[in-house]
Amino acid sequence: MIAQIISVIGQTALVLLFSPLITAFSRTIKARLQTRRGPGLFQPYRDLHKLLRKGMVIPETASWIFTATPYVLFATTLLAGLLIPTIATQAPLSLFGGVLAVVYLLALGRFFLALGGLDTGSSFGGLGSSREMTISAIAEPALMLAVFTVALGAGSTNLSSVAQAAVGQSWRFLSPSQMLAFAALFIVLIAETGRIPVDNPATHLELTMIHEAMILEYSGPCLALIEWSASMKQMVLMTLLVNVFFPYGLSADGSPLGMLISVALFVFKLLILALAVVLVETGNAKLRLFRVPELLAVAFVLSALALISTFLFGVHGG
Amino acid sequence: MLFWQDPQFGDRMITLMAALVLVLQITMVAQRWLVTNIRAFAIQSFLLACIANTIAYYNGATHIYIAAALTLMFKAILLPVILQRLVSRIEIRQEIEPFVNVPLSVIISGFLTLLAYVVAEPLQTQAALPGVAGLGRNTLPVAIALFLIGFFMMINRRKAVTQVLALLSLENGLFLAAISLTYGMPLIVELGIFFDVLVAAMILAILVYRIRETFDSMDVSRLSRLKG
Amino acid sequence: MTIPLLLLIPLAASGITALARGRRAMELIHLFSALAGFTAAILLAAEVLAQGQASWGNSFLFADHLSALVVLLTAFVYLACSPYSIGYFRTDQINQVFGADEDGSIHLAKVRKYFVLTPLFAFSMFLVALSNNLGVMWVALEGTTLASIFLVTFYGRPTSLEAAWKYAMIGGVGLSMALFGTILTYYAAGQVLGTESLNALNWSVLAGSAAKFDHTVMRLAFILILLGYGTKAGLAPMHTWKPDAYSEAPAPVAALMAAAVLNCSLYGLARFYVLTVRCLGPSFASQLLILFGFLSIAVAVPFILVQRSYRRLLAYSSIDHGGIMVLGLGFGGALGPLGMLLHMTFHSITKPLLFFCAGNAQQHTGNDSLRKTPGGLLHALPVSGPMFLLATLAVTGTPPFSLFQSEFTILRAGFAAEHVGLSILFVMLLVAIFAGFFYHIAQLVLGPPNDSPKGETCRWKTYPVISLSALVLLLGFWLPAPLYFLISGAARILAVQP
Amino acid sequence: MWPTRELYTSGLLVFAIGALGGVACHWWARTTSWTLRLFCGSALSGAVLVGGAGLGGLLNASELSWSLPSGIPYLNCVVRIDPLSSFFLLTLSLLAASVAVYSFGYLRHDTAAKSPALSCSLLNLLLAGLTLVFAAADVVFFLIAWEVMVAAAYFLVVTKHEAEESRKGGLLYILMSRSGTGMLFIGFLLLASAAGTTDFRAMHAIGGKLPAAAGGVAFVLLFLGFGVKAGIIPLHIWLPAAHPVAPSNISALMSGILIKTGIYGMARVFFDFYGVLPAWAGMLVLLVGVISAVLGVLYALMEHDLKRLLAYHSIENIGIILMGFGAALLFRSYGHPNLAALALIAGLFHTLNHGLFKCLLFLGAGSVLHSTHTRNMEEMGGLIRRMPATAVYFLIGAIAISGLPPLNGFVSEWLTYQALLAGFGATAELTRVAFPVAGALLALTAALAAACFVKAFGITFLALPRSQAAQAAREVSLSMRGGMAMLALACLVLGLGASWFLPVFDPVTQQAFGINATRNLATGNGFILTAGSPQGGSVSTPVLALMLVALSVIPLILWLLWGRKQKRSIGPTWDCGLPGLTADNEYTATAFSKPLRMIFGALFRPRREIQAEFEVSPYYPKAIHFESEIQPAFEKHFYDPLRDRILRMARSMRPVQAGSVHAYLAYIFLTLILLLLFGVRG
């Protein structure tokens, strides 16, 4: 029981504290690739600290939904983070919700975020909400199909079980179904976290904004929570990707040494993935909004292919 | 035994008269003049009365005499007279304008007669009713032919009066069947039928008259406002 | 003694009405005769239920369950029509449909015609059901036509004349065929029984020995009877006079024709059906009945779907229901005739309601067009409007209304007789009929109020509608046991084994 | 001994009294708030009694049947309360009770309903019909109850028959219904002819006794027949036409429970009348479910009529339920009763859940309509300030229907996912691929539903009012809020307490497959819901909810640490420098769904028309007229041509009756000739 509580607190701390770092890392690498210096790895922490201490302006048109949204978003994203295995195969709350719960918790947060966008009454908010809901909706089948393909291999939707099953089989990720599912999930990751070519988190250009348009009216602590949640969401999805497909180093027994190795490996894997995302971001231009479905359709086809190759080559063998 | 008491003779006579009736029916089909038509109908009815009498005589069935008398009175005399007076009173054109031209009508009548024979053929071999002289059993095809041709005439005639006439000649076929097959229906039925036919004829006459009044025409093919 | 009484009542009513002076006296006599007739019919039904059958005058008149049922239904329709007709013609006078009529003499003459002819009409219908002799039955059926022709021309419009002419011509040909069939049956019977006895055409005698009749003659006879009485019942393709006559006759007359004459003609057909099945076995008659029943239902469909007049709509519904009854008889077995007779009973109670509602609507708007009437009848006629819709649901066989039960019984008979494909088609046609019928009537009844004045002025017109609606609704949940015994007894007569 | 039988009968009686009393009051024009209270009270107490009966049936777990007194000699009014019936009776009672509470305030203030007494009467009649439908155990009796229900609903739909839309909706409803009933006629009769009786009790697993072809035909007909009522695509067209025009309390009942009679019928047929069905049957149901779900939600997204939007969502949810049923059928075909039970439970639980939140949403929409007098979302907005309670209830409903945790919609969708996932391992060949694909499409459906309800809630309740009517809206009366509160509470309770509730389905699965499935579905003192197998997925809504609350403490602490002293100020929304933000600046419902309209353009085939009026230069338009609509594919490509073809054929028959007496005589003549030629010789 105590161990359970400790692991919950530990993972909470990990998700809370580590997630801005990934964002910072991505930004820095991206800046470097663009031959800029970048703001440094601690800039997100400084931003959050500053925002949390600021006052805030609430639009006169907004209702309680507007103010409640950051809290809901924060809580759901964080909770989703507690359901995925990060450094140990056994995620602290994995028994209380599997991958479906993760996806739906994120959806709950998004639901409120979109409502918050609409609540301001400005056309930017509505624009952002509309696009956000659209893109997440069409990303959903690809995400789910890929997740299912993985879950079928493990015979469970519980992420800890999935990770455990993956740990047991070395070189499993080389099977075609796993590769295809990974590729599909990678595209979904880019869409869900709002990266180029789907969305550009650094822009405030009204024609292309998605995420930023929704949160245009937020300021102060609310904005801090939202930014923080965005980082956490990114980390949650990335963790999902790396630990499901490359579960190497996940500690199964919880020994201190194992933990240490797995932390190091976990950080390493995440940073590699972040690097991959940044490379994609840098190598591509932003797509027109109505080209995004095509990208996500590719993701869906990939995950469907993954499923079919599971069917063709068998759940475990392939 | 006198020759007219021989049932064989009666049978011949009946066959002959039935044939004449049929010929008259076809004549009506071929005829173009209304008054001639009415007269042909009168003669046809008269011949039917004669057939009825003959059968009554040979079978000693008194109630057929009544039927014969009624036929003679109403169909051969009264109805033709009424119709003729109606025709002269409402001054309709005398010529019948059939839908199908005369030669074709006659050919169709021929086919209908043939059909009647085909239909009645299996009945020809039947035994006569027990206890009566087997007279005029072969008149059933004639009766059916009368019926069919009468029916055809109803379809082929434009004027209200001619349709009534066709209906009446069609009923003559029934009468022939009734007396030759079954030697008359039970008397009460017979009387009832006559009463009905009489009332029907009167009603039809009234209707004809009112159609003439209302539409200024006897052409019932123009009565087509009620559709769908 | 109830049998002659039953026949005497309408005859006497007709005679007295002919001599009566004022309108009120005629109305009173009419009402009284209808009541007395219905009472007598109930007494007859009770007698039949108690003793199995009733007869009078050396079996000249004869009633078994089937006759008693038809008599009861006829008397009922007559009873339902009588108060309604009073209100109907009073409204006619108010509306001045017969033109300027200062002292009311024209109207009185017209109304006298109705009050004299209708009891005669009823008399012939009673006689159809009560006569044992098939020839007399034919005479009586012809009598119904004769009595009703001048009721069809009642309004003296050119169209009513046209309708009457078609009615007379087609009816005349039809009944001639029926007579031919009757003669042939007599012939077939005579071969077996001899012509000596007057009873040779008595059904009760024929039914006993029909098995020995000549097959070819009976075949021919049944074809002619089917076409003949089918014409009178309005089976397709002999149905063509129906829409014309029903739409031109005054509403109570149309109700009598649709609900009562139909039963009488089918009654005649059923009597011959029994003889034919006894003689030839079930398949010949069944096939023909199914063919014509089905054709009737099918023919009604397009005309119900695309229809401009609601009176004609009701006529096509009548054709459809005649077809359903014949189909039930054709399906045979134990359930088919039961379904047919249940259907006959329920139809006789529902149809008048429909005609009354239609009549009220027509008198209110002055036409029976489905196109000219802008809808919203509900506002103008707060009783007849909604009841029209209710009656429409009832007559299209919507549960809980009773016609559903009978249609379902017939459908079960169809499945029992392994006519599965036909039954499926039957259901499809029923759905199509419902669609057309309900669409038209809903368009008529519902909708925003228009500027026409509020109707329902005459209680004589609304009370029959209300009481019949209550009865129709009640029948959906409660069928009196004696009535059911009567119906099932009658069905046993028709469920013959060869 | 629980008096199930007495409760049921008295409930029915109370409804009947309410129905008759309402008519009587209408007739004598004595409608006061007192009578209204009486008749809504009868609906409420009837609902409670029937609920008691349903509870009794589930507790008793064995079936109980008896005959109601029948006035018709050949009609056996058998009533049977078995677990399946009980479950639906329970659902009915929950919804009916809250609708009854809501109706009191709704009918009292609804100016459009001319006769509240008549509406009450029909409401009671509808409830009586529903009560009978769920328990009738004889084909004829069932069909009678069925059509009583349809008729009552029809008359309720056309309450406001002065409006063309209302008449059309009603007509479409009753015509489609009737076509469905026709299919039921044949399907039932095929089954009954195999059973030799129309009694349901003798028809258990009777489908197997029919020849394969007949059994298949009966199955398809019954599926489609009940499908019309349930609103499966492509038989759904009446739903978006009829539900919006009905009074809102009735829309709620229609979407909540009336269309569930179709589901009840399917459950009865699939799991009672048929034994093991061939795999194609399950595939058919699954396929129809998927299509209905996806297309239903896509059409819903395109609506800006609040009630039509909800109606399309009913189609979607019926699809989700059918996914469960289809999976259950397939599992049974492949011999996995445990999984079949899981899928059936998923379907049935979603039936209940959808009933609850859809009823809630319709009541919410009714309240909005009641206050703003419009169903057009483009004229709403800002209602959260004016109708705060309604907004909260609607939000709860919206979260639940979007399948978001921790409410009840999430739980049943989660169960459906689990069932679908299990299908891959449990079936063979192509069938196994269908399952995950169906799951992915379920995910798409759920995500689109969430998008749709962001729109529905956001455009309706948030930001600035878009019209005078929305500006003037006021919160609805206490009883209306009470009705909604009951349902919102039920959504919450069933969401959090799902694992304790699920044993309710044990008798049902016992009846259908002979097993008690829910024993495996809950672990950890019932706190955790599992997919039935130890290594399968698990979820715990209470823990998730608890954790959500606990985790919100973190930002609160942060705020207490730093932000507490900072000032919160209210300011205008950024308006791009234009003078003042007005409702014109707001995103509209149409705009919100525009991206999806374009993405699924192949399906919607949108048409738009822009007309600009300008005075000086085309760059400065004075007014722009914008019109956009989507093509209702099924209406346009199937139903309209079908109707036109039928009418054209009917019209082409008119010359048959062209008025010529000669032609009429010729018909008879030809018939006679033909019969003489072919009939006489035999």
User: What does the pLDDT look like over D386-398, one tens digit per residue?
Assistant: 999 999 999 999 9
The whole-number pLDDT of residue C452 equals 73
Q: Which residues of B touch C170 (CB under 8 A)?
A: none
pLDDT band with cut points at 50, 70 and 90 for residue B70? confident
Q: Which residues of D touch C478 (CB under 8 A)?
A: 71-72
pLDDT tens profile D341-379: 999 999 999 999 999 999 999 999 999 998 998 999 989
Nearest to C159 among B204, B225, B228 (CB): B225
Mean pLDDT value of segment D422-426: 81
Taking CB atoms and an 8 Å limit, are D552 and A125 in contact across chains? Answer: no
Model confidence at C173: pLDDT above 80: yes
DSSP string covering D557-583: HHHHHHGGGSPEEEEPPP-TTSSS--G
Virtual CA dihedral for B211, B213, B216, B218, nearest 10 degrees? 30
Q: Which residues of B touch C191 (CB under 8 A)?
A: 126-127, 129-130
Reported pTM: 0.93
Sequence ranges of the domains in chain B: 3-125+135-217
pLDDT tens profile D184-225: 999 999 999 888 889 999 998 888 888 888 999 999 999 999
Measured from the Cβ of residue C371, the count of other Cβ atoms closer than 10 Å reads: 10
Taking CB atoms and an 8 Å limit, are D568 and A96 in contact across chains? Answer: no
The whole-number pLDDT of residue C179 equals 92
Which chain B residue shows the shortest CA-CA distance from D666?
Answer: B155
Nearest to D528 among A78, A79, A95 (CB): A95
Q: How far is CA A81 from CA A72, A92, A259, C136, D456, in A?
A: 14, 10, 18, 97, 29
Which of D677-682's residues contact partners 24+ apart within 8 Å by CB, and which partners?
D677/B115, D677/B118, D679/C219, D679/C223, D679/C288, D680/B119, D680/B122, D680/C216, D680/C219, D680/C220, D680/C223, D681/B122, D681/C216, D681/C219, D682/C215, D682/C216, D682/C219, D682/C284
Model confidence at D110: pLDDT above 50: yes
Å from C423 to nearest chain D CA?
Answer: 8
Cα–Cα distance for residue pair C6/D233, rounded to 1 Å: 60
Least confident of B64-68, D110-114, D246-250: D110-114
All partners of chain B with 3 or more CB pairs under 8 angstroms: C, D
Model confidence at B135: pLDDT above 80: no
Å from B129 to nearest chain C CA?
Answer: 5
Q: ipTM of the predicted structure?
A: 0.91
Query: Can you point out the beta strands (E) in D414-490?
Result: none
pLDDT band with cut points at 50, 70 and 90 for residue A318? very low
pLDDT band with cut points at 50, 70 and 90 for residue C486? very high
pLDDT band with cut points at 50, 70 and 90 for residue B127? low
Cα–Cα distance for residue pair C169/B167, rounded to 1 Å: 8
Model confidence at A231: pLDDT above 60: yes
* Phi, psi of B227, deg, nearest 5: -130, 165
pLDDT band with cut points at 50, 70 and 90 for residue D273? very high
B:112-141 residues touching chain D, CB 8 A cutoff: 115, 118-119, 122
Mean pLDDT value of segment C444-450: 88
Flag whether C touches A (3+ CB pairs, 8 A cutoff).
no
Closest to D279 in 3D by CA, of D333, D337, D348, D342: D333
Taking CB atoms and an 8 Å limit, are B122 and D660 in contact across chains? Answer: no
Which chain D residue shows the shortest CA-CA distance from C173?
Answer: D665
Helices B34-59 and B62-70 cross at an angle (nearest 10°) of 170
The whole-number pLDDT of residue A172 equals 67
Q: Which residues of B touch C132 (CB under 8 A)?
A: none
Mean pLDDT value of segment D77-83: 92
State both tokens at D628.
């956009």
The whole-number pLDDT of residue C321 equals 96
Which of D207-215's residues contact partners 24+ apart within 8 Å by CB, and which partners?
D207/D269, D207/D273, D207/D274, D207/D275, D207/D277, D208/D274, D208/D275, D208/D276, D214/C420, D214/D190, D215/D190, D215/D274
Model confidence at B129: pLDDT above 60: no
Taking CB atoms and an 8 Å limit, are C404 and D193 in contact across chains? Answer: no
Taking CB atoms and an 8 Å limit, are B224 and D660 in contact across chains? Answer: yes
Q: Which residue has the higher pLDDT, D387 or D617?
A: D387
Q: Which residues of A touch D552 (CB under 8 A)?
A: 71-72, 74-75
Q: Say which residue the tokens 């018709």 belong to.
A: D72
pLDDT tens profile A248-288: 777 766 677 888 888 888 999 999 999 999 999 888 888 88
Cα–Cα distance for residue pair D301/D447, rounded to 1 Å: 11
Mean pLDDT value of segment D441-448: 93
pLDDT more than 70, % of chain A = 95
Q: Which helix (H) or strand (E) holds A148?
A: helix A123-154
Model confidence at D536: pLDDT above 80: no
Taking CB atoms and an 8 Å limit, are C223 and D676 in contact across chains? Answer: yes
Cα–Cα distance for residue pair A270/D56, rounded to 1 Å: 56
Q: Is D606 exposed, middle or buried, given 0-12, 13-18 or 19+ CB atoms closer than 10 A? A: middle
Q: Which residues of B touch D657 (CB under 8 A)?
A: 227-228
Nearest to C146 among B185, B186, B199 (CB): B199
pLDDT band with cut points at 50, 70 and 90 for residue A317? very low
Least confident of B66-70, C304-308, D86-90, D643-647: B66-70
Which chain D residue shows the shortest CA-CA distance from A291?
Answer: D599
Sequence ranges of the domains in chain A: 2-313
- Per the prediction, chain A carries an average pLDDT of 86
pLDDT tens profile A94-103: 888 888 999 9
Measured from the Cβ of residue D678, the count of other Cβ atoms closer than 10 Å reads: 10
Model confidence at C46: pLDDT above 80: yes
C:186-215 residues touching chain D, CB 8 A cutoff: 215
pLDDT band with cut points at 50, 70 and 90 for residue B136? low
Least confident of A284-298, D25-39, D153-167, D493-507: D25-39
The whole-number pLDDT of residue C1 equals 75
Q: Which residues of D touch C435 (CB under 8 A)?
A: 175, 178-179
Measured from the Cβ of residue A13, the count of other Cβ atoms closer than 10 Å reads: 10
The whole-number pLDDT of residue A179 equals 87
Model confidence at D261: pLDDT above 90: yes
The whole-number pLDDT of residue D223 equals 96
pLDDT band with cut points at 50, 70 and 90 for residue B125? low
Q: Which residues of D touch B220 (CB under 8 A)?
A: 661-662
pLDDT tens profile C272-326: 999 999 998 888 999 999 999 999 999 999 999 999 999 999 999 999 999 999 9
Q: Is D526 exposed, middle or buried, given 0-12, 13-18 or 19+ CB atoms closer than 10 A? A: middle
Closest to D352 in 3D by CA, of D44, D48, D41, D360: D360
Taking CB atoms and an 8 Å limit, are D665 and B155 in contact across chains? Answer: yes
pLDDT more than 90, % of chain D = 56
- Strand, coil or helix: B180: helix
**C171 touches B at CB < 8 Å:** no
Nearest to D657 among B122, B220, B227 (CB): B227
pLDDT tens profile C174-207: 999 999 999 889 888 888 877 665 456 788 888 8
Q: Encode burial over C417-447: b for 16+ CB neighbours within 10 A, e otherwise.
A: bebbebbbebbbbbbbbbbbbbbbbbbbbbb
Cβ neighbours for A113, distance < 8 A, ≥ 6 positions apart: A69, A73, A129, A132, A214, A215, A226
Query: Which of A57-61, A128-132, C350-354 is predicted most confidently?
Result: C350-354
pLDDT more than 90, % of chain C = 70
pLDDT tens profile D545-561: 999 999 988 888 887 88
The whole-number pLDDT of residue D665 equals 94
